[in-house]
Amino acid sequence: MIFFQYEDAEQKIKKLLVSKKSPNVLQDVVDVLYEDFDTYNWVGIYLVKGEHLFLGPWNGTQATEHTEIPIGTGVCGAAAKTGRTELVDDVSKDKRYLSCFLSTRSEIVVPIKKKNIVIGEIDIDSDAPAAFTINDTVFLEKVADMLSQHI
């Protein structure tokens, strides 16, 4: 992954977030992530409501059946519970993994926090094994920070 792609996408998202106050701004951010990174094959935002995560805006070729996930369940639920980014290089080796798409090989889940409380998360599936690096973690944690003002 070429480094300027992260900076480019970060600037695009920053612009979107300052220029728009529309309720679709989360979808717009999901679309930028999906379209700008070849290895981001499914991108979604889950929002915390009570003890569950509910799927919000998403982009990808298929819908997921996991539209509601209890906190503590799956990779998504683990990230929501601990407030820490989860990076899974090989989903077939992670017992927590809830399968959505047969093609998925790796996954990253980045919590969105407000005053240290998890209010949502960015979930990205890739068809490539070990698709996510520290660069993706740093970039997506910045995006999650920016998003927390808009949820």
Q: Interface residues with ligand SME (CB under 6 A)?
A: 42, 44, 64, 66, 69, 74-77, 97-98, 100, 107, 123, 125
Contacts of 28 (CB under 8 A, 6+ apart): 16, 20, 22
Residue among 12 and 47 whose Cβ is closer to ligand SME: 47
Query: Minimum Å distance from CB 121 to ligand SME?
Result: 10
Hey, is 110 helix, strand or coil? strand
Query: Minimum Å distance from CB 72 to ligand SME?
Result: 10
Residue among 6 and 42 whose Cβ is closer to ligand SME: 42
Per-residue burial over 77-106, b if 16 or more Cβ lie within 10 Å, else e, is bbbbeeeebbbbeebeebeebbebbeebbb
Query: Minimum Å distance from CB 42 to ligand SME?
Result: 6
